[in-house]
Structure 1
Amino acid sequence: MTELHQAAAAGDLGRVQEILRQNECDPNQRDIDWSCKTPLHWAAAQGHTETVQVLVEHGARPCLRTEHGWTPAHSAAEAGRLAVLRLLHSLHAPVDQEDRWGDKPARIAEIYGHHDCVLFLKKAEIECQAYRKVAAQKGISVDDTDEEWAEQGKQHEDKPSPKSNVQT
């Protein structure tokens, strides 16, 4: 875990700004010891909206996923961080992506009993999809794909399942 990860998790906005200003750490660095979470995942999970805003302003990508396919929106949904979810949605972050098991942030919020988040996310999913469609029509680039995670998914699909090796 880098110092930026720690400062983001703690909500130490001043330290986060200092680290980013001095280019001491990549805001998109994944922590392999913690499921490949980025500083943005940590800030979102802890409900640090100002830290989330600063990280995104400094290039943190809200589409990046953990090893299980969670975006920062999933992390915020698990913890019931409605203000963070609202902020991510206002920044056109993907709040409608499925994790490795097919669960969107709304489902995660539902599992953990965060009904206000569920209601918001159900509406936000529709708006997110509509925005992508309009952006595509207008030729506007939308940063909603974690290329590294997508590539890992393809590698898993290419490997034969253990059952396919069993001879009958």
Structure 2
Amino acid sequence: MTRGHRVRSRVGDPQAASSAPDLAPDVFVMRVLLEETREMFPVTNCRGDMTVRELKEELDLVAGIPVDLQRLQYLDQGVLMDDTTLKFHDVVPGGIISLCVWRYDGWTELVLAAAEGDPSKLSCLGVTEDSFYQTANSQHLKEKQWKKWVSQRAFVALYIASHRGHVEAVQYLLEHGANCLSRTPVGRTPLHVAAAMGQLDCISLLLKYGASTNDKDAKGMTPVVISRRLNHKHNERQYKMLLLHWVANPSDRQDRPQGVLSNFFGSQSDSDGKPSRKPAPDLSGSVRRLPPGGAAARG
């Protein structure tokens, strides 16, 4: 008997519960707790057949943690393998999955500093080429490899800081050479996550330093499309900012202007074919921070 069946058997008619088909919704919401920062992120549109890898790809955007740094756990089951499904692990609607950062090469400390948005802490963690910071791994790297290592750390810090709207940290990282065109393993740039979270000041900074509005992630989504679909309270200003950048930068345009413009102003269609502008879920303000050791960490 699965955990889901045990929960359902406690309410209503036991006989009816035993003879009824699986009543778990096809699509549901669950929560993910980033253990290092105590931030809680709701994840919508989850399915029983969703793989752990697919969930990680969602968290790359929703939680702002690159997929290759994520380690997911549910209850006491240990690390969840990428090719397993939520149903396999008996994940229930509203359940909480723990997200941890892999504890190697100093990534945990870097993620904490970037999530906090403190430039003084970031400056001590190997995000600039004049840094004296070393790990057991980095001290054996040759110059070319070491520069690549620093560049990757600077990008990860920029990605996380952009997601959380830490303007001072973003400014510091960009001024010290962080590449705003670098991508996570699923093809997302800092502009993708800044647009997803409606971080207007960070969007402005990233555009100033050469971020592209048309870079596509692995799902074919540009920052413009993400901004269009997520209905933030500041979306009109955000659309205008991105559109003005597109108009002022011919090299950043797609081949067909009408295709780009439709990303901003195009409408969806209802089942009857009539235009619709139904708002997509708003991710801004959806993150909340739990106290250390809070009971909510396990339900």
TM-score (norm 1): 0.65
The residue aligned with 2:161 is 43
Contact 1:62–1:72 (CA<8 Å) still a contact in 2?
yes
1:6 equivalent to 2:127? Answer no
Any idea what SS the aligned residue of 1:28 has? helix
Give matches, 1:39-118, under 5 Å: 39-114=157-232, 115=235, 116-118=237-239
Q: Aligned partners of 2:164 and 2:116: how far apart in 1?
A: 8
- Structure 1 residues 8, 128: CA separation in 2 closer, same or farther (over 3 Å shift)? farther
Equivalent position SS for 1:18? coil
Shift of 1:99: 1.4
Distance in 1, matches of 2:248 and 2:220, equals: 20
- For residues 135-160 of structure 1, the C-alpha deviation after alignment (integer angstroms, 9 at most, x for no partner) is xxxxxxxxxxxxxxxxxxxxxxxxxx
* Inter-partner Cα distance in structure 2 for 1:7 and 1:40: 11
Q: Which structure has the highest strand share of the two?
A: 2
Match of 2:145 in 1: none
**How many residues get paired?**
126
How much has 1:93 moved relative to structure 2?
2.0
User: Which structure 2 residues correspond to residues 115-154 of structure 1 after superposition, within 5 A?
Assistant: 115=235, 116-130=237-251
CA deviation vs aligned residue, 1:59-111 (integer Å, no higher than 9, x gap): 21101111221100001000000100001111122232111222211111121
Q: Cα–Cα, structure 1 residues 113 and 126, in superposed 2: closer, same or farther, change >3 Å? A: same
Q: Secondary structure at the residue paired with 2:221?
A: coil
1:22 to 120, 124, 131: 131
Identity of aligned residues (%): 33
- CA spacing shift, 1:89–1:23, aligned 2, 3 Å: farther
Determine if contact 1:88/1:95 at 8 Å carries over to the other structure: no
Max Rg structure: 2
Structure 2 CA distance for aligned equivalents of residues 68 and 22 of structure 1: 28
4+ residue runs over 4 A deviation? none
- Identify the residue that residue 150 of structure 1 maps to in structure 2: none
Cα distance 1:48–1:129, how it changes in 2: closer, same or farther (>3 A)?
A: farther
Residue type of the alignment partner of 2:176: H
Alpha carbon RMSD of aligned pairs, Å?
2.3
- Flag the 1:68–1:128 CA change in 2: closer, same or farther, 3 A: farther
Deviation per CA, 1:22-41: give whole Å up to 9, x if none: 342745326xxxxxx71111
- 8 Å Cα contact 2:213/2:252 also seen in 1: no
Could you tell me which runs of 5 or more consecutive residues in structure 2 were left unpaired when the two chains were aligned: 1-100, 102-106, 135-148, 254-299
Matched to 2:243, the amino acid is K
The answer as to whether partners of 2:246 and 2:252 remain within 8 angstroms in 1 is no
Letter in 1 for 2:151: N
